[in-house]
Amino acid sequence: MDDDTTAYYRANADTFFADTLAVDMAPLYARFLPHLPVGGRILDAGCGSGRDALAFRERGYAVTAFDASAELAALAAAHLGQPVQVLRFQDLERTQAFDGIWACASLLHVPGAELPEVLRRLAMALRPGGVLYASFKYGSGEREHHGRRFTDLDEAGLATLLTQVQGLTELETWTTGDRRPGRESERWLNALLTTTADAWPNS
């Protein structure tokens, strides 16, 4: 996250936590989890409140979580009852560690120019055949909204992005409304991506 987005979450962590904690994400879990082995390892990348990490752990998965916001990471750790690392996507350094990566409404804060390298890092963190879920506000281009920076994507934008990323290919994309009450008209691009043989050039 850039400085302005980090400052937003510093000032609004408690409100964001409260507003997102109870949102029902089960329909999205139902698209993601069937691709993972029972009891597999999931990285909740940009975990926010820790809502999804807890849901995965309650379903029997081994979960690791991080967030770039120290304030949200602390709230998520208390909610989960386990450590949550303070980490930026750009600093992730793991290799073949996870069966699945869940990046729900988090990659959208990465500047567009940095997304190819971030996706490469995520691909390397997945095991062979691993699956990445990512969601972006539906659209194109970069913008600032109420103190936060967003990179919006549509299907064409995602396809172009993936041409710049070694090691990931698209499984499926679909659009949904926002899961938060009163915001159903806001559209999201959802994507499931999987690793290819060239995700780990040094292995």
Read off the pLDDT of residues 30-81 as tens digits, 9 standing for 90 and up. 999 999 999 999 999 999 999 999 999 999 999 999 999 999 999 999 999 9
- Which residues have C-beta within 8 Å of that of residue 73, sequence separation ≥ 6? 47, 66, 67, 84, 85, 86
Share of the chain above pLDDT 70, in %: 95
Quote the number of domains for the chain. Answer: 1
* Residue 155 in domain: yes
* Residue 111 in domain: yes
CB-CB contact of 115 with 151 (8 Å): yes
CB-CB contact of 47 with 74 (8 Å): no
Asked if pLDDT for residue 177 goes beyond 90, the answer is no
* Residue 203 in domain: no
Q: Is the pTM of this model over 0.85?
A: yes
- Per-residue HEC secondary structure of the chain comes to CCHHHHHHHHHHHHHHHHHHCCCCCHHHHHHHHHHCCCCCEEEEECCCCCHHHHHHHHCCCEEEEEECCHHHHHHHHHHHCCCCEECCHHHCCCCCCEEEEEECCCHHHCCHHHHHHHHHHHHHHEEEEEEEEEEEEECCEEEEECCEEEEEECHHHHHHHHCCCCCEEEEEEEEEECCCCCCCCCEEEEEEEEECHHHCCCC
* Residue 202 in domain: no
Kindly report the length of the chain: 203
Per-residue pLDDT tens for 113-127?
999 999 999 999 999
* Residue 89 in domain: yes
Range of the domain at 80: 3-197
Asked if pLDDT for residue 184 goes beyond 60, the answer is no
* Residue 188 in domain: yes
* Residue 93 in domain: yes
Q: Which CATH number is 80's domain given?
A: 3.40.50.150
* Residue 182 in domain: yes
Tell which wins on pLDDT, 134 or 203.
Answer: 134
Query: How confident is the model at residue 82, as a pLDDT?
Result: 97
- Please provide the average confidence, as pLDDT, over all residues in the chain: 92
Tell which wins on pLDDT, 34 or 24.
Answer: 34
